[in-house]
Amino acid sequence: MGPQIIPCASSAERGRLRNIQPRAISQSQEGRPRRRPVLPPPTEFAMAVPGQIEKFAGGHGKKQIRSKTRFLAVSTLVFLFLGPCQAWAQAAYSRFEVGVQTSLTSVWHSAATDHDIGVGGRFAYNISRVFALDAQFDFYPRNEVPFPAITALQEGGRRSVWIAGLKAGWHRQKVGLFGKTRPGIISFGKVQQLNAPGQFDRRTHFALELGGVLELYPTERTILRFDVGEMLARYGERVVQLSQGASLIAPGYVASFFQTSVGLSYRIGRQGEAQLQSGNKGRFEIGGQFSWLNILGSFFRLRDEPGYGGRFTYDLYRWLGLDARVSYFYRDPHTVDFQEGGKILQGFFGPKAGIRRSGMGTFLKFQPGFISYGTTLTDFRNFPHPPIPFERQTHFAFNAGGVLEFYPSSQATLRFDAGHVQIFYGPKTVFLNQGSVTAPSYQKTGIEVSTGFGWRF
């Protein structure tokens, strides 16, 4: 009779079982040895969560916000339930995987919903049983006509997507759950030229995909894979100088696509079993980071803001921690409106959950917080006579994304973050010479990436 397999137990039960002392093996009357229970090694679980779906120019559909919020809540509860449990069976894996998939991309505009179907291939290199480098290519053969018309200056024609990044999560013999963070490019083959009506060229944009993966393993070599996530695309400004000395500008912004795919993969090479390793030590961590924030600013001008800041982490468990960070974006764009303008102060606090090994770790984060603009308009009663009063304006925001950490030593951490930043601008009253007006509420989507160094103690 083999080692006893014990289902996921409570913390008290696991503590009691760990305290069982080894005993000498004695022979029973039948001559069979008595065996003590054997506790298999722990494993951990992580799932990345896609961000909200944005309409053009920063708006959102309420139905999509509710559905995505439910998805975030369910994913977090699933993770918190499975994270501390034990995975008793060691699942075999191989270093290389190749596969094919079909993908569905959806985008919600203010007046319509657009869907596009593509096909492509995938390649993965498994660093370990729970970490993989994952690359994917998709081609969408439909000759797309952009809607609304203003997006024709950034999109159009057949679309191709190239992304590659990290996939990490929870893996058993028949099923696996993973989170993914994959940067890359999105390219459109037929985009309207600014100063030549009827003429087109190719436009390529930076993209970032955040999402989750469900894998089923019908056999040791085959993988049935389901992906769901959000793709953020940074559409940069397009400026053309006209002959009269004027310029024509196509505004930049951050576009958001909801993406699902289903595919079949095959494992190549010799298969082995994972060897679990212990993580680094210390519950507390302090550090600094350098960040880059990309978001649509005042008057439809795209802001690429560098910043710096600090962070503090307290690890409740090896797989779950509380993470707080503050960043200061020091450039002043010298443009203001009722809701934003000036230098930016940003802060987020929330859980960071995932998988940690001795050499590296990867985590999901969903962190509410604030973003504060140092200079906004509020009172025009003295206009045009100076001074025109300005004030600081602070808005609720959240950051959802992925974290990759490397551990050069037991106390040092090198950290990389990538995430979706969602900002909620509330209504604001602005005073005029005669009466007042209320600036309406709205939302904006941004991309934030950062790198930093930390020290554990």
Q: Is residue 201 part of a domain?
A: yes
List the one residue out of 449, 74, 93 whose CA is nearest residue 268: 93
Residues 296, 203 share a domain: no
Residues 325, 195 share a domain: no
Range from 16-30, 66-80, 142-156 that averages highest in pLDDT: 142-156
Residues 285, 269 share a domain: no
Q: Is residue 27 part of a domain?
A: no
Q: Is residue 446 part of a domain?
A: yes
Query: Which residues does residue 437 pair with via DSSP β-bridges, in sequence order?
Result: 430
pLDDT in tens, 39-53: 333 333 233 333 333
Q: Is residue 7 part of a domain?
A: no
User: What does 296-321 look like in DSSP terms, one character per residue?
Assistant: E-GGGPEEEEEEEEEEEEEESSSSEE
List the one residue out of 39, 133, 79 whose CA is nearest residue 353: 79
CB distance 346 to 327 below 8 Å: yes
Taken as a whole, the chain contains a residue count of 457
Predicted local confidence at residue 112, as pLDDT: 58
Residues 176, 148 share a domain: yes
DSSP, res 342: S
Cα angle 217, 401, 62; round to 5? 100
CA 32 to chain centre: 54
- The CATH number for 191's domain is 2.40.160.20
List the one residue out of 49, 42, 38 whose CA is nearest residue 83: 42
Residues 286, 231 share a domain: no
Predicted local confidence at residue 28, as pLDDT: 39
Residues 267, 309 share a domain: no
Q: Is residue 181 part of a domain?
A: yes
**Number of domains the chain is built from:** 2
CB distance 281 to 455 below 8 Å: no
Q: Is residue 379 part of a domain?
A: yes
The mean per-residue pLDDT over the stretch 361-385 comes to 87
Instruction: Quote the domain boundaries for residue 417.
Output: 278-457
Residues 322, 222 share a domain: no
d(Cα 294, Cα 327) in Å, to the nearest integer? Answer: 14
Domain's final residue, options 220, 252, 276: 276
Residues 450, 353 share a domain: yes
Residues 312, 214 share a domain: no
Residues 131, 244 share a domain: yes
The mean per-residue pLDDT over the stretch 12-30 comes to 42
CB distance 293 to 344 below 8 Å: yes
* Tokens read off for 250: 């196509």
The mean per-residue pLDDT over the stretch 339-352 comes to 94
pLDDT in tens, 404-424: 999 988 889 999 999 999 999
Residues 197, 303 share a domain: no
Q: Is residue 325 part of a domain?
A: yes
d(Cα 170, Cα 44) in Å, to the nearest integer? Answer: 6
Q: How confident is the model at residue 450 (pLDDT cuts 50, 70, 90)?
A: very high
Domain's final residue, options 230, 248, 276: 276
Q: Please identify which residue in the block is written with the tokens 């729970």.
A: 130
Range from 11-15, 33-37, 156-160, 287-291 that averages highest in pLDDT: 287-291
Share of residues in the chain with pLDDT > 70 (%): 73
Predicted local confidence at residue 55, as pLDDT: 39
Domain's final residue, options 258, 276, 294: 276
List the one residue out of 447, 453, 445 whose CA is nearest residue 416: 453
The SS3 assignment for 237 reads coil
List the one residue out of 153, 163, 144, 162 whose CA is nearest residue 203: 153
pTM of model > 0.85: no
* Tokens read off for 295: 């978001």
Q: How confident is the model at residue 13 (pLDDT cuts 50, 70, 90)?
A: very low
